[in-house]
Structure 1
Amino acid sequence: MPRNEYQSQLADLRSDVLEMSDTVAERLEMALNALETNNHDLAQQVIDGDSEINQQYLELEKQCTDLIALQQPVAGDLRFIAASFKIITDLERIADLATNLGEYATAGETNLFPDIDLQELGSVTLEMLDEAMAAYADDDREKCYTVDERDDDLDYLCEVASDTVVRELIESEQMDSDEDIEAFMEDVSRFLLTIRDIERIGDHSVNIAARALYMIDNNDELIY
């Protein structure tokens, strides 16, 4: 295959990975808005759209495997293709977590704890994802480290949010019936799962940044 065509395929792969990330970020933002507004229709759009992202993933997986099998890339090109494959895996998992958030939004009460700003937590994850993908797009090693550092902030915010839930549970008034208690605890469980899944989205963004750094500098510091 002529060198120019090969380089064009590498450029197409990068462009397609970035397109997938745009779709994933859009769905995540929709899920977070559905949680905030209790918008079941918006949440259902996120849930129904998961199959589209799964299809994008499979098509990109084939692009990666075909490039490796047919072109036998080495050095920087091989790191780029391998990083792209790992990144689309993390993007697909972020999309799965966004789908979870959509399901939580349709399942019950989402505004149990007004002192906890889920939008703030979600905004941090969206910014982390954006910076991680910018690192991949622009070979920006500094952004890789920025994403890793921001994850500590997100972990702290999620820990505070979870502690707030526990504290308010302890201080809450006793309910009238077992049915009320059961329904309330189901909502609380979903709320805690929401916090957990938002934190996991941040972890996947760090994974993306780590693979971008490995791609750029053959540096596995953030992977481990």
Structure 2
Amino acid sequence: MTREEYQSSLADLRTEVLAMGELVADRLDRALAALATVDEAVAREVAGADDAVDRRYLALESTCIQLFARQQPVAGDLRFVASSFKIVTDLERVGDLAVNLAQYTLAADRKRFEEVDLSAIGDRARSMLDDAMAAYRTDDAELCREIAARDDELDALCQHASERVVRDLIEREVDEGDSWAVEELLDDVSRLLLVIRDLERVGDHAVNIAARTLYMIESDPELV
């Protein structure tokens, strides 16, 4: 493979990683919409569509391995391929989190804790993922650092929501003689806390993507 062909392959890799990012973002959008509207049909679709993300991940894993093997990459190319592989790993995990959100929609009674604004948390996490992929697309180091700073805001939103759920549980009046009602309530609380945690993890993966991108651009893995 000539140097020109290798560079073309690297450009193709970036295109494919961005395409996977769009696929995962679409899954996340649909999962968040299903969660907000309690749309079981959309939730089932998202929960059953994880194979497409997994196939894309495996194909890109193979591409990265081939790019390592075909030609001895120079330092910048090596960082790009290694970072791209790490990024698709984070994207695959966001796809898994979207499935979790869909399954939560199917299992829980969202009418119990309607005052918990999951949409605001989801929108914040989704925005961070969008910007992380934009930074990867455009080699934007400053945007990478901005995403890391925004993660503290998302963490605070998630902590506030979790505390509100626990406080509402403590204050809620439940007939302790009705063991089924108590168990259902606790199951819903557990699922709601899990979905808040998973939304926080979407933000964590966005920060990871930003960190990988910064390493790719500046050979610096640290976001400050």
Normalised by the length of structure 1, the TM-score is 0.97
Stretches of 4+ moved more than 6 A in 1?
none
Alignment partners' CA distance in 1, 2:142 and 2:111: 37
Alignment partners' CA distance in 1, 2:67 and 2:195: 38
Alignment partners' CA distance in 1, 2:48 and 2:183: 29
Structure 2: tracts of 5 or more residues without a match: none
Is 1:72 the equivalent of 2:111? no
- Structure 1 counterpart of 2:159, which letter? E
2:185 is matched with which residue?
Answer: 184
> What pairs up with 1:65-144 in 2 under 5 angstroms?
65-144=65-144
Deviations 1:103-138 (A, max 9, x none): 111112123222211010000111000111111110
Is 1:195 the equivalent of 2:201? no
Structure 1: tracts of 5 or more residues without a match: none
1:212 is matched with which residue?
Answer: 213
More deviation, 79-88/40-49: 40-49
More deviation, 67-76/80-89: 67-76
- SS of the residue corresponding to residue 115 of structure 2 reads coil
- SS of the residue corresponding to residue 114 of structure 2 reads coil
Identity of aligned residues (%): 53
Is 1:43 the equivalent of 2:43? yes
More deviation, 176-185/48-57: 176-185
> What pairs up with 1:5-20 in 2 under 5 angstroms?
5-20=5-20
Q: Does the 8 Å CA contact 1:132/1:206 hold for their aligned counterparts?
A: yes
Q: Does the 8 Å CA contact 1:36/1:111 hold for their aligned counterparts?
A: no
Alignment partners' CA distance in 1, 2:116 and 2:204: 20
Is 1:151 the equivalent of 2:151? yes
- Structure 1 counterpart of 2:197, which letter? R
- Structure 1 counterpart of 2:142, which letter? E
The size of the alignment, in residue pairs, is 223
RMSD: 1.1
